[in-house]
Amino acid sequence: MPRINDNFLKLKAGYLFPEIARRVNAFTEANPEAAGKLIRCGIGDVTEPLPESVRKAMHEAVDEQGNRETFRGYGPEQGYGFLREAIAENQFQSVGISADEIFISDGSKCDTGNILEIFGPGNKIAITDPVYPVYVDTNVMAGNTGEADENGAFAGLVYLPCTAENNFVPAIPDEKVDLIYLCYPNNPTGATATREQLVAWVAYARENNAVIFYDAAYEAFIQEDDVPRSIFEIEGAKECAIEFRSFSKNGGFTGVRCAYTVIPKALKGTAEDGTEVSLHQLWSRRHSTKFNGASYPVQRGAAAVFSDQGKKEVAALIEHYMGNAKLLREVCQKIGLSVFGGVNAPYVWVNCPEGVDSWGMFDRMLEEANVVITPGAGFGAAGEGYFRISAFNSRANVEEVCRRIEENLG
Ligand SMILES: *Cc1c(COP(=O)(O)O)cnc(C)c1O
């Protein structure tokens, strides 16, 4: 028998969502009359249909594929020029990122995991706590960690606690790290980082020759003018950061799949012998070898997000979800809870009532309001004492959730 990658054995057996499913099943079996009333505000998936402009562009692209004259086979591995140029123009013009620094893919989940392939062993890796679990698990798989302790914290990782005290933006570490994962607007806390905070992180990264992985999947949800939309708004970031963006949450592409990674040409790493090497070149090589490009109709659909109609449709989707977030924030405040997030992100992060922990709150919401939320502790030790409500839902469901929270938990 062949030898397996033993690192996979270190993974915690996908604890959060299976445990949620187990508790929901146990509850609905014991209370069959409540089963039909259950409203899910747990998983971070969009609910509203794909914009018309996107569907139209995809239909047209499929028809092109049915015609000898317009048929396209393999496309460029890094993505079609029409999409890379539309992204550069619409998202990064003011910060001077060019189309050839943008790599199209089929998802940010894959990109944030795959990016580790171009980095060698021995890097010190910092991740926030609570965190999007993909960052942790992909490092475990890559062999960048030791074993997990009884709290699920992996040896070898540097955890950066994000709490109400630091407004859910981690303090600059007092040790040297090589790779840092930051996600703003944040999943799960809904927090944003200020310009000053990002300036401090970029300064730290430059001083320590570190690279920041900046996950901006929720950029489109930013409502406040002074919140940075890209790490590249910060001077010097092109020498120390990679940014990940996705069409999943703004365009509703979670089922369609399209995302992109920005690697500035100025960004470098070091080889074993100390030579500086372009990370852009390494990622380009990796992409050409292991990826044959995102599907043509999907890239046409993604480009339609930047059409006049597409922009209006995306704005309406964002307005819908952020309207939900506002209602959810208000009802939690009304029943006396401390509420974070939900202003520039589709997640509302709520402090559990005195004496109730994350899972205790999960059970109360399930049993008393028949609403499924996500316990904060599932995203990391620092998430204990909080729960996350997702604003991805229909308005009718959110209004019903608010009624039930007020009635049963108020
Ligand atoms: C949803 C989400 C993404 C997007 O992932 P895709 O694979 O592009 O769907 C990336 N990062 C975070 C933190 C997310 O919540």
- Are residues 285 and 327 part of one domain? no
The number of angstroms, rounded, from the C-alpha of 202 to the middle of its chain's C-alpha atoms is 20
> How far is CA 226 from each of CA 202, 231, 241, rounded to the nearest angstrom?
18, 13, 21
DSSP 156-176: TEEEEE--GGGTT-PPPPSS-
Q: 321 with 358, same domain?
A: yes
For residues 37 and 77, membership in a common domain is answered with no
> 342 by DSSP, 3-state: which?
coil
**Domain total in the chain:** 2
Closest CA to 83 of 105, 53, 67: 105
Substitution site in 43, 128, 132 for ligand 1 pocket (most atoms within 8 Å of beta carbon): 132
Position 194 scores a pLDDT of: 97
Cα 108 to ligand 1 centre (Å): 5
- In the chain, what percentage of residues exceed pLDDT 70? 100
Query: Do residues 189 and 301 both lie within one domain?
Result: yes
Mark whether 317 and 383 lie in a shared domain: yes
Q: Verify that 243 and 103 share a domain, yes or no.
A: yes
Q: Which of 228, 225, 165 is nearest to 202 (CA)?
A: 228
Instruction: Return d(Cα 130, Cα 17) in angstroms, integer.
Output: 15
Specify whether the CB–CB gap between 341 and 379 falls below 8 A. no
* Predicted local distance difference test score (pLDDT) of residue 14: 67
Average confidence (pLDDT) over 303-313: 98
Cα separation values, 285 from 122, 149, 239, Å: 22, 37, 20
- Regarding whether 390 and 379 lie in a shared domain, the answer is yes
* End residue of a domain, out of 264, 292, 307: 307
C-alpha to C-alpha distance for 371 and 368, rounded to whole angstroms: 8
Verify cis geometry, omega within 30 degrees of 0, for the bond prior to 264: no
pLDDT in tens, 16-59: 888 899 999 999 999 999 989 999 998 789 999 999 999 999 99
Q: What is the CATH number of the domain that holds 265?
A: 3.40.640.10
Q: Is residue 182 part of a domain?
A: yes
Q: From the CA of 229, how far away is ligand 1's center (Å)?
A: 16
Q: Are residues 198 and 114 in the same domain?
A: yes
CA atoms of 263 and 357, how far apart (whole Å): 40
Domain holding 363, by residue range, is 6-49+309-409
Q: Which of residues 307, 330, 347 is at a domain's end?
A: 307
Task: Give yes or no for a cis peptide into 2 (omega within 30° of 0).
Answer: no
Predicted confidence (pLDDT) per residue in 192-251, tens digit: 999 999 999 999 999 999 999 999 999 999 999 999 999 999 999 999 999 999 999 999
The total of other beta-carbon atoms located within 10 Å of residue 23's CB is 17
How far away, in angstroms, is 197 Cα from ligand 1 center?
23
Give the residue, by CA position, lying nearest to ligand 1 atom 2.
Answer: 217
Among residues of the chain, what percentage have pLDDT more than 90?
A: 96
* Within a domain: 59: no
Are 342 and 402 in contact, with CB atoms under 8 Å apart? no
